[in-house]
Amino acid sequence: MKKLVVVLLVFALVVTTFYAFASAFIRSDDGGPRSDRPGSRSSSPAAEPDEASAPSPELRDFYGQALDWESCESDVECATLEVPLDYAEPTGETIEIALLKVPARGDSQGALVVNPGGPGAPGTDYAAAANRVFREPLLRAFDIVGFDPRGTGESAPVDCLTDDQLDTYLSSDPSPDDAAEEQEFASLIRGFGRGCAELSGDAVNHVSTIEAARDMDVLRAALGEETLTYLGASYGTKLGATYAELFPDRVGRLVLDGAVDVSLDNRQLGLEQAAGFETALRAYIQNCVDTTDSCFLGESVDAGLATISGLLADVEASPLPTGDDRELQIGNAFYGIVTPLYNRDYWFLLSAALRSALDGSGTALMELADLYASRGPEGYTDNSSEAIFAINCLDDPSSVPFRKVAAELPAYEEASPTFGSIFAWSLTSCRASKARTTEAPIEIRGEGAAPILVVGTTRDPATPMKWAEALAEQLDSGVLLRRDGDGHTAYNSGNECIDTAIESYLLDGDVPKDQTDC
């Protein structure tokens, strides 16, 4: 079996997985996320662009552009935003940022800009699924505006691998076991970095979070908003916090849900995320033990962990059939298991997939792995698996040499006996990245910004609660809101206390007491 590192660069999955599950497994009559909004809506009147807020004369034309919204699907509108490829050279090459707007169901009080995280997830898809992602109070009051951050979706997307190469990348063993496997592993990692440079050209040097945050301010101005109203999830919280540092006087009401600790390096982020996934897996198994007469995984959490580890070992030794020309390999099995851990509502899918795999069929786990990677029957539907590499490695190109991973294994395996070695090997992922940003590093404090709502969940697998606590402390105006629960991100997850607090803040500016527990 070929060996290759997983695409697991800190923020891995995104909130869009939730509506992908809904679309694939709990499908509405029309089966699609873009055209299932009831009734018809007319777009709110276009506001005047805020040209005067441009930070430099060279950017005034960008800030003053009018968005040409056109109907692109039932009840949604699309447009493009022109921005500089390199903000250091604003009169040079430009790119277009894809936008999608879901008009407010009632009288609009302005735009709510949203981002699902990743990095790499298309924000236009997130906005298109607004009726699944957001509750009625926000849908009625705001035009929901999503954008594909530069390098993703339809916004000058980066390209690094062919579909066949990406299949190999995602299916192969994420933690090599001997010298020969490590050599193959390193070769394929270098191929990924080389592919990004060859297929994407100079664009791969301009997909940083800082540049995406600059694009958000151009978007704010083009929408005619004096300040930005924003809801970002997962990596979207890093994007929002970066915006607050760059444009504190333009911060309106920002919700950062499933927050990232922007002060941590890749090693510490990976270590704490490994622990988060182990916690989530244990919670899933504990629920099986507590709610069934005889949990199929075993009679205790430790027994269940042993069953899953045994399954992964078996798949590594002998991939499972899936009913077509693909086999469930160890990389696919890993993604298939971690994907449903992002949302407690989909634990039943994990149980069904694990039962099937234990019976010798890899079909269900492969379907979950494909949802993670945005892979359809005919290939990949977006470039999120490549964009996450390009963006994260541009933001922080640091990496661990292949020969030094062994020294990292004890700490990672202590944090996560099940997944620790995979996370440890992911520390090498940027080893071959050739991209370099023109943006200088910044320390994120957001001094002078209006109150920013930072939200965390106690058993969030991807962004541990301690990250939200840290980001709220780091932001000069951060206010912490805690959700006690399972799954990734807090809003619209069945906690009325959380939902009411977030909606009251966005709609009326009511800032909850710092460190509110829900």
Secondary structure of 283-322 in the HEC alphabet? HHHHHHHHHCCCCCCCCCHHHHHHHHHHHHHHHHHCCEEC
Pairing, β 320-321 against β 76-84: unpaired
Answer yes or no: 206 catalytic: no
* Exposure class string for 479-506: b at 16+ Cβ within 10 A, else e: bbbbbebbbbbbbbbebebbbebbbebb
431: which 2 tokens? 């080893």
DSSP 483: E
Q: What is the pLDDT of residue 186?
A: 86
Q: What is the pLDDT of residue 39?
A: 33
Q: What is the pLDDT of residue 293?
A: 87
348: which 2 tokens? 């039943």
Answer yes or no: 107 catalytic: no
Inter-residue contact 196 to 390 (CB < 8 Å): yes
Candidates 234, 374, 385, 493; catalytic one: 234
3-state helix, strand, coil in the chain (%, to 5): 45, 15, 40
* Exposure class string for 350-384: b at 16+ Cβ within 10 A, else e: bbebbeebbeebbbbbbbbbbbbbbbeeeebebbb
Question: Which residues belong to CATH 3.40.50.1820 in the chain?
Answer: 16-156+206-264+446-517
What is the C-alpha separation between 468 and 438, in angstroms, rounded?
Answer: 29
Interacting residues of 317 by C-beta distance below 8 A, sequence separation 6+: none
Closest CA to 429 of 400, 406, 403, 405: 400
Candidates 261, 370, 460, 499; catalytic one: 460
In Å, what is the CA distance from 130 to each residue of 37, 40, 234, 328? 9, 15, 17, 33
Q: Which of the listed CATH numbers 3.40.50.1820, 3.30.450.20, 3.50.50.60, 3.30.2310.20 matches domain 16-156+206-264+446-517?
A: 3.40.50.1820
Q: Is residue 306 exposed (0-12), middle (13-18) or buried (19+ Cβ within 10 Å)?
A: middle
Q: Is residue 456 exposed (0-12), middle (13-18) or buried (19+ Cβ within 10 Å)?
A: buried
Cis peptide before 248 (omega within 30 of 0): no
- How many residues appear in the chain? 518
Q: What is the pLDDT of residue 44?
A: 56
Per-residue pLDDT of the chain (518 residues; tens, 9 = 90+): 222 233 333 333 334 443 434 333 322 223 233 333 333 344 555 678 878 788 999 999 999 999 999 999 778 999 999 999 999 999 999 999 999 999 999 999 999 999 999 898 899 999 999 999 999 999 999 999 999 999 999 999 999 999 999 999 899 888 888 888 888 888 888 888 888 989 998 999 999 999 999 999 999 999 999 999 999 999 999 999 999 999 999 999 999 999 999 999 889 989 999 998 999 999 999 999 999 889 999 999 999 999 999 999 999 999 999 988 899 999 999 999 999 998 888 899 999 999 999 999 999 999 999 999 999 988 899 999 999 999 999 999 888 999 999 999 999 999 999 999 999 999 998 988 888 888 999 999 999 999 999 999 999 888 999 999 999 999 999 999 999 998 899 999 999 999 999 999 999 999 999 999 99
Q: What is the pLDDT of residue 43?
A: 53
Q: What is the pLDDT of residue 343?
A: 87
Candidates 172, 208, 421, 488; catalytic one: 488
Q: What is the pLDDT of residue 48?
A: 80
What is the C-alpha separation between 362 and 336, in angstroms, rounded?
Answer: 10
Answer yes or no: 460 catalytic: yes
What is the C-alpha separation between 413 and 67, in angstroms, rounded?
Answer: 50
